[in-house]
């Protein structure tokens, strides 16, 4: 029996989940968890106008005009085009958004994303090749964190040279 019940621990991902046939190789372990927990999908070619509310996670690959609210993660696919206000725990953008994004946990913009609007989140990741036109608010009353006067700014040049760090931001 032991020959047929082999527990190969090398195939488990970093977060302890077994590899998912739904997950693409380029997805990180946190993205893999998002794919496994996906409860709704608005496919390519779909067009929706109005207010969308999701209790879990959703992936959008179509067109949406209006407002999107999710208790968990909203993933905007590469072919998606949104003119919408988005409120969620985490927002991952690959497509185009014209509207504001409010995330309680994190916003990640991945190429070839294009966002024209304001972002409010405690954590923002912008990958190379993304276009972001708007303002970003991190912390403060909008995200439920107290405003801190000891914020620091780090500049990382694209050519890999030594980074310069500024002292405390003027407050």
pLDDT tens-place string over residues 116-125: 999 999 999 9
Which structure tokens are listed for 166?
């500024």
| Residue 52 in tokens | 């969308």
For residues 78 and 96, the answer to whether their CB atoms sit within 8 Å is no
140 confidence band (pLDDT: 50, 70, 90): low
Work out the pLDDT band at 6, boundaries 50, 70, 90. Answer: very low
Query: Within its chain, how far is the Cα of 27 from the centroid?
Result: 12
| Rounded-to-integer distance, Cα 76 and Cα 86, Å | 11
Kindly report whether the global pTM for this prediction surpasses the value 0.85: no
């Amino acid at each position: 029996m032991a020959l047929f019940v082999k527990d190969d621990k090398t195939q488990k991902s970093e977060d302890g989940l077994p590899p998912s046939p739904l997950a693409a190789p380029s997805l990180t372990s946190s993205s893999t968890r998002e794919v496994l927990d996906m409860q709704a999908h608005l496919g390519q070619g779909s067009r929706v106008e109005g207010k969308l509310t999701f209790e879990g996670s959703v992936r959008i690959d179509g067109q949406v005009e209006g407002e999107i609210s999710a208790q968990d993660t909203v993933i905007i696919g590469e072919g998606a085009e949104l003119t919408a206000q988005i409120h969620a725990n985490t927002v991952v953008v690959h497509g185009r958004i014209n509207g504001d994004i409010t995330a309680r946990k994190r916003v990640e913009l991945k190429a070839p994303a294009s966002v024209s609007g304001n972002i409010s989140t405690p954590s923002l990741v912008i990958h190379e090749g993304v276009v972001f036109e708007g303002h970003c608010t991190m912390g403060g009353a909008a995200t439920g964190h107290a405003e801190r006067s000891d914020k620091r700014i780090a500049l990382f040049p694209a050519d890999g040279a030594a980074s310069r760090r500024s002292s405390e931001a003027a407050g």
